Amino acid sequence: MADELPQLTAAERQRYSRHLILPQVEAEGQRRLKAARVLIVGAGGLGSPVALYLAAAGVGTLGLVDFDVVDVTNLQRQLLHGTDDVGRPKLDSARERIRDVNPHVHVEPYQTRLTSANALGIIREYDLVVDGTDNFATRYLINDACVLLGKPNVYGSIFRFEGQASLFATGDGPCYRCLVPEPPSPGQVPSCAEGGVLGVLPGIVGTIQAVEAIKVVLGIGETLAGRLLLIDALTMEFRTLRLRRDPRCPACGTREIRELIDYDQFCGITPETMPTDNRDMTDEITPAELKARLDARDDFDLIDVREPREWDIGHIPGARLIPLGEIATALDSLDPSREIVVMCRSGKRSATAAKQMKDAGFQRVKNLAGGILRWSDDVDPSVPKY
């Protein structure tokens, strides 16, 4: 087996000397790392430290999946990308950065969204997967594909000051579905774009994922399989809780999931909860129309369903703040016969609010298309985008 591993060049021996003198790694372990193929899904907050450290450590082949371009709001935490990269595809800046960190690493870029159609084909080519995605649908997709293919899935996720990490889909260990049998309904759990995240936090969680990936490749230590690591950066407490394989789990337990499914549908992502362009235009109002109606002092209520901290960054004069989580209890204080315009950052949460209100009998609810981001673009650039 060891004979089949690639040899290290003189330059590599020098570069990895601090690994080679570790009894747990030595030359054979470093050759294992060189032979390893690791797929990183998401070149963002978590994917950045994972890719940088795995590249520096000498993982021979790194697959990177990301469809996005670099946005200035990414730079607070996504260290694969720099200020000059804003507007460029993330995979372009990632490849350049990784080449600079370690030119011995081969990068295989996949400039695409991971989908049910391509996931098995891509993941099959790798030894293990590191989940650095930012949404539930892709997490379930990665999980099911890894369980079906028998590939370990190094999990990490973050929100505000808290992080989670584990290792799923190993031999007899649990999978993501054993931890989270069903996703929250859309809007129930805010994303980092909505709730914020400490920029350093993905650095902590991502480096832990990188350590787990290396331990899997080398077969050393005790991995997080069967354990969930919880990190609270504010108290700097690290706790591990026990995870068990659920015999009723449809992926790794009963194995009734034999092929990949529609994960958007599984996560309740319907046209009503998609970004505004995909919804019925009759229920929307554009920022320009809203401005005209505000200027004309038309009689309607403008309700902002974001969180108070987002409101403090900037809001539309005349709006009333009712965070999405409080809409249900606030309905009693609203008049169902009045015209209501709901708004949020991008139009997504307010679409959920509009649906809740319509379901409760409110007839005249409109959603501000594109939210305050488009308001800033089209009407008032002094309202900051975030």
Of 6 and 325, CB closest to other proteins: 325
Residue ranges in 289-318 that form contacts with other proteins under rule CB under 8 A: none
Buried b (16+ CB within 10 A) or exposed e, 361-373: ebeebbbbbbbbb
Among residues 26, 125, 182, 277, the one that binds other proteins under rule CB under 8 A: 182
Shortest distance (Å) from residue 68 CB to other proteins: 12
How far is the CA of 82 from the CAs of 92, 192, 197, 198, in angstroms?
11, 20, 19, 18
The span of 188-196, 258-266, 345-353, 359-367 binding other proteins (CB under 8 A) equals 188-196
Site string for other proteins, 230-249 (x = CB under 8 A): x-x-xx---xxxxxx-x---
**Binding of other proteins by 45 (CB under 8 A):** yes
Among residues 61, 115, 116, 191, the one that binds other proteins under rule CB under 8 A: 191
**Binding of other proteins by 203 (CB under 8 A):** no
**Binding of other proteins by 135 (CB under 8 A):** yes
**Binding of other proteins by 131 (CB under 8 A):** yes
Shortest distance (Å) from residue 266 CB to other proteins: 12
Of 25 and 165, CB closest to other proteins: 165
**Binding of other proteins by 139 (CB under 8 A):** yes
Among residues 22, 189, 261, 281, the one that binds other proteins under rule CB under 8 A: 189
Distance between CA atoms of residues 131 and 214, nearest Å: 14
User: Rounded to the nearest 10 degrees, how much is the dihedral formed by the CA atoms of 76, 82, 88, 91?
Assistant: -90
Of 239 and 255, CB closest to other proteins: 239
Residue 192 is among the residues annotated as catalytic for this protein = yes
**Binding of other proteins by 42 (CB under 8 A):** yes
Exactly one of 192, 249, 252, 267 is catalytic; name it.
192
Q: How far from the centroid of its chain's Cα atoms is residue 129's Cα?
A: 14
Residue ranges in 159-178 that form contacts with other proteins under rule CB under 8 A: 159-162, 164
- Where in the sequence numbering do the catalytic residues fall? 192, 344
Residues that bind other proteins in the complex, under the rule CB under 8 A: 42, 44-47, 131-136, 139, 156-162, 164, 179-184, 188-192, 195, 197, 202, 228, 230, 232, 234-235, 239-244, 246, 325-326, 329
